[in-house]
Amino acid sequence: MSDTKTNERPLVEVKHLKEYFPINVGLFRSKPLKAVDDVSFSIRKGETLGLVGESGCGKTTVGRTILNLYKPTSGEIWYDGKLIKTKADIEEFRTKATMVFQDPYSSLNPRMTVEDIIGEPLDVHKMYKTKEERHERILELMGHVGLNSEHAARYAHEFSGGQRQRIGIARSLAVNPEFIVCDEPVSALDVSIQAQVINMFDELQEKLGLTYLFIAHDLLVVRHISDRIAVMYLGKMVELADANEIYSHPLHPYSKSLMSAVPVPDPKIARANQRIVLSGDIPSPLNAPSGCPFRTRCQYATPACAEAMPDFKEVSKNHFVACHRVAEINQ
């Protein structure tokens, strides 16, 4: 984790982001699937913001929409004090912001050598003058992620999952980015390899001054790497706070349930911990409940929770929660 948190100006600001996908529900009829519904947050330079939630809560969509891989339905994305709006803005933004994808197997072209995979962003953005300069830059990037120069002429299928993810990370570093969206970058890897890759993200952040949005569902991984953690549920942001704060004092009922499921290495503490098991299934984002989306699975829900979505407000310093009854629940 970085020590540059003193820099208060946000590098990335997301304001009221919405991403709706039209889904056909009958003849000539479609209905919006609200994958991301009015999400706002900011990330300071040199910081890692962890984004967690169950599968299907919209966290990957947030990452892809920030980079304009999906065109936002509405809302604003600001980068370094500038609104990303026009096609030229997006093209410039993509030389400063990149993405590491979840699946190291499907995100690499099997017909390209490692050198060409890593060099592709250099080709697209015309970031070299001679072939030698390109080759040297690729070898430098491979060195950053612990790959040998003799790997350059080989193909992706000749590597293990962990090595493939390193190739993907080297590719994401090619344009000298300041901001990287890491979309569940270790969830497809063996546990023994996960730690190595996470430590590498940490080292690269220190060395290259990177800022991360780290998307994951494994809460232990997120805690290790994040400065702050945001929790999403069904397209909405329900809690945001410093990593240690959200682990020791989760305030939203959904966050409490998530944190109670985190394994503890000490058997005595683990036995004493009360696991909060949620009843019911996650509702479909096509037919999300009215008001607070979590109310159908919340033991504290009242009729008022069905009437309006609670505001996402600061309840203590730098700790934001969207819950109508947050004060009563946490007395």
Does residue 272 carry a pLDDT above 70?
Answer: no
Q: What is the pLDDT of residue 309?
A: 93
Q: Rounded to 5 degrees, what angle do the CA atoms 105, 110, 116 make? A: 110
Q: What is the DSSP string of 201-253?
A: HHHHHHHHT-EEEEE-S-HHHHHHH-SEEEEEETTEEEEEEEHHHHHH---SH
Query: Looking at residue 59, what is its pLDDT?
Result: 94
Tracing tokens 């069904």 back to the chain, one arrives at 234
- 201-239 pLDDT per residue, tens: 999 999 999 999 999 988 888 988 999 999 999 999 999
Read off the pLDDT of residues 21-70 as tens digits, 9 standing for 90 and up: 999 988 888 999 999 999 999 999 999 999 999 888 999 999 999 999 99
3-state DSSP call for residue 125?
A: coil
Which burial class, exposed, middle or buried, applies to 171 when counting CB atoms under 10 A from its CB (0-12, 13-18, 19+)? buried
Give the model's pLDDT for residue 4.
43
Residue-range domain boundaries for the chain: 8-96+177-329, 110-176
What dihedral angle (degrees, nearest 10) is formed by the CA atoms of 5, 10, 11, 17?
130
CATH of 8-96+177-329, one of 3.40.350.10, 3.40.50.300, 3.50.50.60, 3.40.50.1370: 3.40.50.300
Contact (Cβ atoms closer than 8 angstroms) between residue 288 and residue 229: no
Share of the chain above pLDDT 90, in %: 68
Q: 2 pLDDT band (50/70/90 cuts)?
A: very low
Span of 129-143, 199-213, 271-285, 301-315 with lowest mean pLDDT: 271-285
Three-class secondary structure of residue 120 per DSSP: helix
The separation between CA 31 and the C-alpha centre of its own chain, rounded to angstroms, equals: 26
* Residue type (1 letter), 290: S
Residue 155 has pLDDT above 60, yes or no: yes
Task: Please give the share of the chain, as a percent, with pLDDT higher than 70.
Answer: 95
Q: What is the mean pLDDT of the chain?
A: 90
Q: CA neighbours within 13 Å on the CB side: how many for 120? A: 16
Instruction: Please give the Cα distance from 80 to 93 (Å, whole number).
Output: 10
